[in-house]
Amino acid sequence: MQLLKFGVTAISLAFLSSTVVIAAENSCLETLYDFGANYNVAKFEKNGIRKSTSESNPNGENGELLYLNTFTLKEGWVKTLECKSCSPKKSITELLLASTEKLPCGLTNKSSEAEIVKKFGPVQERKNDYLIYNYPPIEQTEAISFKIEQGKLSAVHWSMAID
């Protein structure tokens, strides 16, 4: 009877421990996602090289255009989408930042793949030099990718879904 009690306690503690780790990982992933989604692109818009295209907005009023802009700087690039009927009127669709930028969750250009996995949990997908995590947990419509070069983080890429 004592052994059974101990076994249940050990399992409960193990479950609690893994739940705390998962919550911490999701918290860091959420923090990093919010950082990218709310990134202030003013520096890119002011100093970056701009490429723009436009296309008809299939969900807007007749003749309304979607404006797709890409701003490039040495430390990365950002893609934005703008339109009159969009909410918000301008939003980030993609963002790539070199790991030299100040990033949340203690990420630096010295972060190893093992440190990233420790902070964000098991990698959901690998493509070339990228470790990919989908977000949010259920919908998984967004992606955060960590570019690894020579075993260390070199850039973070956010890919946002557009409604």
* Non-local CB neighbours of 147 within 8 Å, separated by 6+ positions: 129, 130, 153, 154, 155, 156, 157
DSSP assignment, residue 141?
-
Query: Long-range contact list for 4-9, CB < 8 A, 24+ apart?
Result: none
Question: Measured between alpha carbons, how far is 40 from 52 in angstroms, rounded to an integer?
Answer: 19
Which pTM does this prediction carry?
0.77
The dihedral region occupied by 63, where left means phi > 0, alpha psi between -120 and 50, and beta the remainder, is left
Per-residue pLDDT for the chain (163 aa), expressed as one digit of tens each?
443 343 433 333 333 333 334 444 468 999 999 999 999 999 999 999 999 999 998 888 888 999 999 999 998 999 999 988 887 888 999 999 998 888 999 999 889 999 999 999 999 999 999 999 999 888 888 999 999 999 999 999 999 976 5
Collapsing DSSP to helix, strand or coil, 68 comes out as: strand
